[in-house]
Structure 1
Amino acid sequence: MMGINGDLVRFNVGGKRFKTTATTLANAGHNSFFAALFNENWDLQPAIGEEIFIDRSHICSAILLDLLRTGELHILPNVPEAR
């Protein structure tokens, strides 16, 4: 699977690198973007260890990953979307 080495998943979101686990991403649910990445019918197979590039805000992505890890939403006041 793309960007996946064992349970470790690597992302490059808006130029910032993230590492997480497939287990954490599974917390997004079966109808999520992350579930689609692991779908066998989506034939995207880059080299082993290659990062998955996502063209989105890295600030929001850090918040999303934290939510998936902890089950709690914590938005810092300096995040523009929170204002």
Structure 2
Amino acid sequence: MAVFMMGHTGNPLLVLAVMMTSSMLVFLGMITMAYRVLTGPRDHPAPRTPPPDPLEVARERYARGEIDHREFERIAANLLRSERPKP
């Protein structure tokens, strides 16, 4: 009749072991989360590359045959005109 001893219907050591294990897992989870929050993200974003030069893009389009010579000259003239400082 050891099963009903002191009003318990099971092994109190088993219940204690389960409670201690679950408490330890929760505690370790909290430590892990705090570490991750304090140390920040692991992956760092790549540095930004500057945008391509518009005149270089026009040259590449002309070389691929996407625009003809007249269109390239018009684009180049507009770009060079817009780069000049205004008085």
Q: Which has the higher strand share?
A: 1
Q: Which has the higher helix share?
A: 2
TM-score band (shorter)?
A: under 0.3
Which entry has the higher C-alpha Rg, 1 or 2?
A: 2
TM-score, with structure 1 as normaliser: 0.24
Higher relative contact order (CA 8 A, sep 6+): 1
